[in-house]
Structure 1
């Protein structure tokens, strides 16, 4: 995995360094300008890749999930070479939005995409991606939303007092920031952006055949075909570094939809003691090995609430780097609870990876809720009433 590094300077004596600093009126405690660092101008620097930035905590190269508020909760973004597991909500209404945000961010950032699904054709998924918002458009949408929800003065004071002690969540885009974008879910991404993007699609019904047999490796035919497809793209396109990319280095964003569902030929959602109980975990183990040695990041949506065997869920969590769960209020008691009237569900940050650290960073905000507005999907600290 990529990490920020520093370049070594040539071997020089302490006296010569002091003399060079005094000549340019720069002390040893100040950063040297171009004139003072002329001898180091040929030093190699960290290659910059569009749509990425190094983590300020561990130097890990990060990409945006397409939802800046989620990036903030995950420590700045999703680390390259890792897996983000999205635990689908009960009716699979909101998890596809996070999946589409991730792919849309890849198109806007100029990254390559690999979209895998057993339910929907990847070409159709790309056509339904949300349209990006520029900074001014987002501010306008926020202003309209505030004006349409008038509150009493005492309620405003009550909410303001509660949120004084909470960490500030990112409410809007920074004009100078090029990492992470905002999207309008009521509009579709321009066709021109899709046509100019580079993407690879894996639609299981078109890839699998009844004669395909992989009993020897204990993987379902769908998982085996998908691993081969991902491996070929990584190697042929040079994302692993063994076959250098012809053009500027780029990131491969991998999106896998509804993994573990019966559509993939896996029966872990149908019975507790199934014959393919180790197929999913073996797939994740091999996939993570491919990601660790390549410039790629992966998002997976999985119906974990349907998996009968809790031990399988624990193994899946351990084989994922970042785990985010969505809990929808639809059909539950919380839907009619006045405490949750302003929200559509809860978001649970179940696991954050330990990258170049013995411990992981976790947000101070424990109670997180999400709501789907007319055009925006937002994450906020939940009002406890």
Structure 2
């Protein structure tokens, strides 16, 4: 005969301890971080929702990794990605280190957009939402299975609801930096001031970058650091000797060593103009090998952009794509492949569009219907008795 109470579930104490551990770990996470849904690694947002969804299924950029963004032509779409990345770090309270740029770059960060449009959209969705079973309402949401599996306290639910992983920014607004600014600007120094000696090309111009990063990482070990390097090796910013392999590759080696030394503290995004340094050169290929992720932006020429809207077109409410995006490599950390297929976007032709409120949106590329082809624009559905009508389509 057992003396166990029938109302007590076996292993309830263990479940309470695990739930308390989950809540304590959630509370211990700094703002702007969350575990990856694949393997639990800490990830942070790039400031762009669509880019977070492409990063190998981690729903963000994993800490301790670097992302190299290559861009063709004279446009600056990659520069907008770095500004979104820096603005997200400022809002989350992270330390943002901008290497090779002056303080004027920080005054061009986009401001946080107002939630009026999203609030109206959510109200319309709630009014027109389909009346399905209650158990299927939250199907497919990120983390819903994990939330159902472990009970949460009201305090943790309130904190999780108020915490925002990726903010919405508006390019027409400017982000106001706090008085103790979390941004650090490290301009490239080729020679000491007030010295008119010949420049010593044997000294690497990237030495100051590594010294600054190693010092800041050792001084503040409990802070998340974001490293932003816009237009690396651009002739307008860097001296000619910076393109030497013994200088730039040594710098990327040092940056990779810092990323591996502080895997839960630092993350980096680098942009490279491949018009000046094409991918056919060995230097660019070595730079890609020293980066964890590589993306390539190919903007369309202005003459090749489609019209804004045509009467009767199926894509009248969609903005035309402004370029193509190609994924060469993504940060993958486990043997399952890091969420391939639809999550990674390797099998699709991806296009991007930059707008004022939506930011840079990445989505699969599809050609619009030909002008004048009304049958294709209206669907062109037919069956064995003739053309399909509205009554036949409804179900």
- Whether TM exceeds 0.5 here: the answer is yes
Contact 1:73 1:362 in 2 (8 A): no
In 1, Cα distance between the equivalents of 2:87 and 2:200?
A: 35
* Residue 282 of structure 2 corresponds to residue 311 of structure 1: yes
Quote the Cα distance in structure 1 between the aligned partners of 2:74 and 2:121: 28
Secondary structure in 1 aligned to 2:216? helix
Aligned to 1:12: none
Q: Is the 8 A contact 2:305 2:320 kept in 1?
A: no
Out of 92, 95, 105, the residue aligned to residue 125 of structure 1 is 105
| Equivalent position SS for 1:102 | helix
1:32-62 Cα offsets, whole Å, 9 max, x none, are 554xx49987998473111000111122110
Q: Does 1:58 align with 2:36?
A: no
Is the radius of gyration larger for structure 1 or structure 2? 2
Question: Which whole-Å deviations, capped at 9, do the CAs of 1:226-256 have from their partners, x for residues lacking one?
Answer: 1112112112223xxxxxxxxxx32001111
| Cα distance in structure 2, aligned partners of 1:341 and 1:80 | 33
- Equivalent in the alignment of 2:258: 290
| Residue 325 of structure 1 pairs with residue 274 of structure 2 | no
CA contact (8 A) 1:58 1:357 kept: no
Note the residue ranges of structure 2 that are not aligned, 5 or more in a row: 124-139, 143-159, 309-314, 369-395
Instruction: Report the TM-score, using the length of structure 1 for normalisation.
Output: 0.69
| Pairwise CA distance, 1:142 | 10
Residues 42, 57 of structure 1: alpha-carbon distance in 2 compared, 3 angstrom cutoff: closer
Task: Give the structure 1 partner of residue 99 of structure 2.
Answer: 116
Q: Kindly state the Cα deviation for residue 259 of structure 1 after the two structures are TM-superposed.
A: 1.0
Instruction: Tell me: CA distance 1:94–1:19, structure 2 relative to 1, closer, same or farther (3 Å).
Output: farther
Q: Take 2:96 and 2:274, find their aligned partners in 1: how far apart are those partners? A: 25
Q: 5 Å matches for 1:332-343?
A: 334-335=304-305, 342-343=320-321
Structure-2 change in CA distance of 1:254 and 1:336 (3 Å) = same
Are residues 39 and 289 of structure 1, via their aligned partners in 2, closer, same or farther at CA, if it must alter by over 3 Å?
Answer: closer
Cα separation, 1, equivalents of 2:259 and 2:3: 48
The residue aligned with 2:392 is none
Q: How many Å separate the matches in 2 of 1:235 and 1:61? A: 20
Secondary structure of the residue that 1:372 maps to in structure 2?
Answer: strand
Q: Is 1:259 matched up with 2:243?
A: no
Partner in structure 2 of residue 199 of structure 1: 183
The aligned counterpart of 1:280 is: 248
Equivalent in the alignment of 2:380 = none
Tell me, in whole angstroms, the C-alpha distance in 1 between the residues paired with 2:199 and 2:35: 43
In structure 2, what is the Cα distance between the partners aligned to 1:202 and 1:268?
A: 16
SS in 1 for 2:291: coil
Distance in 2 of aligned mates of 1:51 and 1:213 = 42
**Do the aligned partners of 1:55 and 1:62 also contact (CA within 8 Å) in 2?**
yes
Aligned to 1:353: 331
8 Å Cα contact 1:368-1:382 kept in structure 2: yes
Aligned equivalents of 1:330, 1:42: Cα separation in 2: 51
Greater CA drift, 103-112 or 81-90: 81-90
Match of 1:160 in 2: none
2:351 and 2:20 map into 1 onto residues whose CA distance is 50
Contact kept in structure 2, 1:115 and 1:201, CA below 8 Å: yes
Q: How many residue pairs are counted as aligned between the two chains?
A: 311
What TM-score do the two structures reach when normalised by structure 2? Answer: 0.68
Query: What's the offset of the Cα at 1:328?
Result: 0.7
Q: Where in structure 2 are the equivalents of 1:1-385 lying within 5 Å?
A: 25-28=8-11, 34=16, 37=17, 45=25, 47-74=28-55, 75=57, 76-117=59-100, 120-121=101-102, 123-138=103-118, 178-189=164-175, 191=176, 193-205=177-189, 213=200, 215=202, 221-238=204-221, 249-262=222-235, 263-266=237-240, 276-294=244-262, 295-308=265-278, 310-330=281-301, 334-335=304-305, 342-357=320-335, 359-364=337-342, 365=345, 366-377=348-359, 378-385=361-368
